[in-house]
Structure 1
Amino acid sequence: MWIHIFVFILTFCFMEFMAWFSHKYIMHGFLWNLHADHHKKDHDSWFERNDAFFIIYAVISIIFFLLWQNNILEIGLAIGLGIFAYGCAYFLVHDIFIHQRFKLFRNANNSYARAVRRAHKMHHKHIGKEEGECFGMLIVPFKYFKQEFRKK
């Protein structure tokens, strides 16, 4: 039981690295064509081509659920749930809190919330795929926290 909890937490934490890595080297790399509309909206749809990345990670999570269900990988459930939980956290922070795709959490105004918003705003100041910064989501550079504390 404890190993499953440990693997779940480890997977969730590892997904922050995977989000950073895939954002920096895949989304701003060879799959920029899917991510570009997230930086420069060139359509009228609520959906973005960038949303395909949610589907990719959902499929990976489902694969781990299936590996567990078919007794191929005992910790597959913990890994699948860790990926799923990170996806939920990412959706809440990125799509709902930062980009306000649903009008929720508009009044969140603590130091962490302001630092995350500022880091993401700095990422979006670059419209092209080069010269980006702040590719992570839940963990942002400490300088944004320092800016928030200086304002107080």
Structure 2
Amino acid sequence: MWYVLITLLSFALMECVTWLTHRYVMHGFLWFLHEDHHRKGPGFFEKNDAFFVIFAIPSWLCIMLGSMNQAYWVVAIGAGIALYGAAYFLVHEVIIHQRFKWFTHSRNRYVRAIRWAHKMHHKHLGKEDGESFGMLIVAKKYWDKVRRDEKLQHVKPAESK
């Protein structure tokens, strides 16, 4: 039971790690790796994809070294990081950027809110003045935008005479 809780806590804490890394590292001294994600060029792969490997290393080390030393709480941390990586892949690469055309049309409010938040993040082409650096948690203003859009879609235009 404790290992499951440690895994879930590690998963949750990864949102904080992701926000901080995205804001201060990816939009900071490693901008040269992240820039092509904001200014899409030709081809399927981006230098930004290197962050998959960068984030996978601590997960792999925790799982491997924890297993070797029978420190299963460390394995649980590695599993939480790995689960977050899987969620990142599904949400960021598949749902938001649709690099894989698995879920292209969704009416789900969360999906629409997270896509809008990410769109607002990408409106900034430089490393400064960014917003919405998280991945799974969506700020209230983006939820509000989606709700307003839903209300507008349900209002029928007045008939002209």
CA distance in 2, matches of 1:138, 1:29: 21
Question: What is the SS of the residue equivalent to 1:75?
Answer: helix
| 2:99 matched residue in structure 1 | 101
1:23 aligns with 2:52: no
Q: Distance in 2 between matches of 1:31 and 1:20?
A: 14
Instruction: Please say which structure displays the higher CA radius of gyration.
Output: 2
Aligned length: 150
* 1:74 to partner: Cα distance: 2.7
4+ residue segments displaced more than 4 Å = none
Q: Which one of the candidate residues 112, 115, 118 is aligned to 2:113?
A: 115
Cα deviation, 1:10-63, whole Å, max 9, x if unaligned, reads 000000111111000000000000000000023x22110000110011111000
In structure 2, how many angstroms separate the alpha carbons of the residues matched to 1:133 and 1:29?
14
Q: Who is 2:82 aligned against?
A: 84
Structure 1 counterpart of 2:47: 49
Gaps of 5+ in 1: none
**TM-score, normalised by the number of residues in structure 2:** 0.90
Provide the residue aligned with 1:58 in structure 2.
Answer: 56
Distance 1:74 1:98 in 2: 34
Distance change >3 Å, CA 26–CA 72, structure 1 → 2? farther
Q: Distance in 2 between matches of 1:122 and 1:98?
A: 12
Percent of pairs with identical residues: 53
- Find the counterpart in structure 2 of residue 9 from structure 1: 8
Q: Structure 1 length normalisation: TM-score?
A: 0.95
| Amino acid across the alignment from 2:12 | C
Task: Give me the whole-angstrom Cα distance separating, in 2, the residues matched to 1:150 and 1:99.
Answer: 23
Report the counterpart of residue 133 of structure 2 in structure 1.
135
- Deviation, 1:72, is 5.8
Shift of 1:110: 1.3
Residue identity opposite 1:61 in structure 2: S
